[in-house]
Amino acid sequence: MLPNILWSALLLAMTTAAQLEPLHTSSRWILDANNKRFKLRCLNWAGHMEAHLPEGLQHQSVDTLAKWVADQGFNCVRLTFSIDMALDQGLKVSDSCSTLAERTGAPADAVADLWSRVKSKNSWIENISVGEAFGHVVDALGEAGLRVILDNHVSKASWCCNLDDGNGWWDEAQVYVDSNSRFFNTTNWVSGLRAMAQFSANHPAVAGIGLRNEIREVPVIQGRDAWYEYIVRGAHAVHDTNPDLLVVMGGTLSSTDISFLRNKPLDRSPFGDKVVYEWHHYTFSPNWIASFKTCSIWKSATVGGTSGFLLQQGKDYTGPLWLSEFGFSQAGGPPERHGIETQEDYDYLTCLVDYVKGNDGDWALWAIQGSYYVRDGVVDKDESWGVLKSDFSDWRNPGVKDVIADLFKVTQGP
């Protein structure tokens, strides 16, 4: 007979292990090892910027943040990374911080103070590398019962995603345009994906990897044929390195258009039952603008054709479709809009929630970070779209919980 306390420890260990088993797909569903639906209800967390660290560790301990995310009912985090970090995982966090001022144009004394605040909230970080720090954050999320989908947000660690930031389109693909490809080294991208798939083998909370955030072509001259070629290359880099992972891929036009799969489905057979499609939706998304920002038009004429059709079951193209980013200002507004700042945001959000609720889709809200280590050369730069306040203590606008409440429910399944 084991003493009760040991039984509890053993059971806890077994539950945690079961929670961290690989996910897979069937038809439009993401399923766990017991073939039960695992609906992604995630919060985005930026880790792709110049510090090469998940944001916010100067404000709260990672365990506090992981617990907060889990306590709100999210079951996963979409954690973004750069290829720069993926290929330089051995870089000491202290060295990343000591060059951060120079690399971002932020004041050196403010960056030095930032690093001492990171160490005081998270003393474990002092002597380790950026790869180990990512691992520590992922493991902490896993211990809080959360899964992690890593997302390759950019090649060059920096804010994303402008049309001319050089991270938008594979440099080897035709036609080369410097403004959207100058940092997107295809060889390094493949190596970086492999490196993160390898990393994930040691951090079982990771359930999948997103191949590239918001592919941004120059319309017309950069073609969709390249999408098939390079997405397949990235999918092989992940799947052939770690076949347990979900392989997440978004369409073109900043992940708002994957309509081409209807007539030319992707051959997913090399990747088993692991492929998940993703889409993004904002007030500035082209199909929302094309619908005159009118919910009824968007629902009836636009979203189904650009992405939503993938959820139709029994088709060659059927697959899970994850709304891996949606977001809006969290700055606050009147109570009749649950604190949503503008009427435009409120109309967009309630329309989107209604749509995703209707098909019980998987989703990820953008984003946890209430501020950045450094952005625009400013230390602790506030993020008004951050779900958390600037000090990462709690909801910036608690009213959001009411507006998205229905998305947490699971109403459909295989």
Q: Which residue in the block uniquely carries the two structure tokens 């889990």?
A: 70
One residue of 63, 109, 126, 240 binding ligand NAG per CB under 6 A: 126
Interface size with ligand NAG, residues (CB under 6 A): 7
Using CB under 6 A as the binding rule, the residues of this chain from 127 to 146 that contact ligand NAG are 127
325 scored as a contact of ligand NAG (CB under 6 A): no
One residue of 187, 269, 296, 313 binding ligand NAG per CB under 6 A: 187
Instruction: State how far the Cα of 410 lies from the Cα of 361, in Å rounded to an integer.
Output: 9
- Do residues 87 and 160 touch, judged by C-beta distance below 8 A? no
One residue of 1, 2, 3, 123 binding ligand NAG per CB under 6 A: 123
One residue of 19, 89, 185, 285 binding ligand NAG per CB under 6 A: 185
171 scored as a contact of ligand NAG (CB under 6 A): yes
Element (H, E) at 281: strand 275-281
Instruction: State how far the Cα of 101 lies from the Cα of 320, in Å rounded to an integer.
Output: 42
Distance of CA 402 to the CA centre of its chain: 22
242 scored as a contact of ligand NAG (CB under 6 A): no
Q: Cβ neighbours of residue 54 under 8 Å, at least 6 residues apart?
A: 45, 46, 47, 62, 79, 133, 134, 137
In the bound complex, what is the minimum distance in angstroms from residue 185's beta carbon to ligand NAG?
4
Burial of 379 (0-12, 13-18, 19+ CB in 10 A): buried
Q: Between residues 118 and 400, which has the closer beta carbon with respect to ligand NAG?
A: 118
In the bound complex, what is the minimum distance in angstroms from residue 165's beta carbon to ligand NAG?
17
82 scored as a contact of ligand NAG (CB under 6 A): no
- Do residues 153 and 81 touch, judged by C-beta distance below 8 A? yes
The single-letter code of the amino acid at 98 is S
In the bound complex, what is the minimum distance in angstroms from residue 211's beta carbon to ligand NAG?
18
Using the rule CB under 6 A, give the single segment among 36-44, 121-129, 154-162, 214-222 that binds ligand NAG.
121-129
Instruction: State how far the Cα of 196 lies from the Cα of 190, in Å rounded to an integer.
Output: 10
Q: Between residues 42 and 140, which has the closer beta carbon with respect to ligand NAG?
A: 140
188 scored as a contact of ligand NAG (CB under 6 A): yes
- Assign 269 to helix, strand or coil: helix
Using the rule CB under 6 A, give the single segment among 13-21, 53-61, 159-167, 180-188 that binds ligand NAG.
180-188
What the block records as the tokens of 303 is 């979203």
Q: Give the interface with ligand NAG as residue ranges (CB under 6 A).
A: 123, 126-127, 171, 185, 187-188
